Amino acid sequence: MSSPGKGLAQVIRHPPLRVLLAIAALAVVAVALVGGLRGTRGKTLATHGAGAVIDAGALELTPLRAWISDVRPGRDRPSSFGPSERYLVLQVRALNRSDSSQAGGFALHNSILWLPVLPGEGIRPESVSRSDDHGTYYHLPPLLPTGIDLVWVVPADWTPDAETQWGVRAVRFKSRTWLTGGSEWLPAEQLAKLVLPLEERRAMEAGP
């Protein structure tokens, strides 16, 4: 009876197994080359304030101001229905650099996340509307800079920190996706953190 070490040495010397081992090693190298082994933990994101121009792939974003109010943008008084709630608003200038209004609208809803607790999950805006007419549209025309209000509904008794943080995520073009094999604009890597002071606005001054 041969020893286990000798048996293992015989197995490793067998050509098909060598090929299998080589394929496994190549697969690990390929995964490493496409970034599969790169961890995201500990990556420090750049922090930007108002006025910074951020390249977020499909969108070029410029955060302008942030405020908390008891009225939605475009309204002049709090809702008289339902429980009292407040609105956290981040106003940005967005330039759609994708190839379509549709992709720009998708990117608007996916590029900026509110970060109420760190570390923790970001929260997508509850509504996205234009700053000028306060309309809610799901398209953003390419190459036309547009003022946008991103709104999060918060409890009336929520006390904000002096500075509020948002995360910016890129939306990038994939010429071939695994799911359909077609081309799509998809949410991609985290890019930056926005830190803006919060203004407190009262009913009649909710709009910019």
Partner 1 sequence: MNVRRRPRWLPHWLPRWRDLLLAMLALVAIVVLRNAEPAYNERLLPIVLDGGVEQRIQARNFAVEAKRPKLAHAYLVDGGALAPDPRRVATAGIWLSVVADVEALRVPGLVGARIRTRDGLLYQGNQDRPATAVNFIGKTLDPGLPVTGAWFFELPPGQVEGARLQLFWGPYDGLGGIDHLVDIDLGLDATRTRQLLDEAPAALDLRG
> Are the C-beta atoms of residues 91 and 147 closer than 8 Å to each other?
yes
Cα distance between residue 62 and residue 27, in whole Å: 41
Instruction: Annotate 46-57 with b (16+ C-beta within 10 A) or e (fewer).
Output: eebeeeeebebb
Q: Are 103 and 96 in contact (CB under 8 A)?
A: yes
Q: Which residues contact 208 (CB under 8 A, 6 or more apart)?
A: 65, 73, 91, 131, 147
Q: Is 182 in the site for partner 1 (CB under 8 A)?
A: yes
Q: Restricting to residues 18-37, which ones interact with partner 1 according to CB under 8 A?
A: 19-20
Quick one: which segment of 50-58, 110-118, 164-172, 180-188 binds partner 1 (CB under 8 A)? 180-188
With CB under 8 A as the contact rule, the residue among 12, 14, 26, 203 that binds partner 1 is: 14
Q: Is 76 in the site for partner 1 (CB under 8 A)?
A: no
| Of the residues 60, 65, 78, 100, which one makes contact with partner 1 according to CB under 8 A | 100
The yes or no reply on residue 10 touching partner 1 (CB under 8 A) is yes
| Exposed e or buried b per residue across 180-202, where buried means at least 16 C-beta atoms within 10 angstroms of its C-beta | eeeeebbbbeebbbbebebeebe
Using rule CB under 8 A, residue 41 touches partner 1: no
The residue within the footprint of partner 1, chosen from 109, 139, 172, 193 (CB under 8 A), is 139
Contact call for residue 183 and partner 1 (CB under 8 A)? yes
Cβ closer to partner 1: 20 or 31?
Answer: 20
Find out whether the peptide bond into 78 is cis, omega within 30 degrees of 0: no
* Binding flag, residue 135, partner 1 (CB under 8 A): yes
- CB of 108 closer than 8 Å to CB of 95: no
Answer for which of 41, 43, 176, 202 binds partner 1 (CB under 8 A) is: 176
- Binder of partner 1 out of 4, 36, 119, 181 (CB under 8 A): 181
Which CB atom, from 102 or from 127, has the smaller least distance to partner 1? Answer: 102
d(C-alpha 90, C-alpha 42), whole Å? 27
CA gap 181, 6 in Å, rounded: 48
**By the criterion CB under 8 A, which residues form the site for partner 1?**
2, 7, 10-11, 14-17, 19-20, 99-102, 132-133, 135, 137, 139, 141-146, 176, 180-183
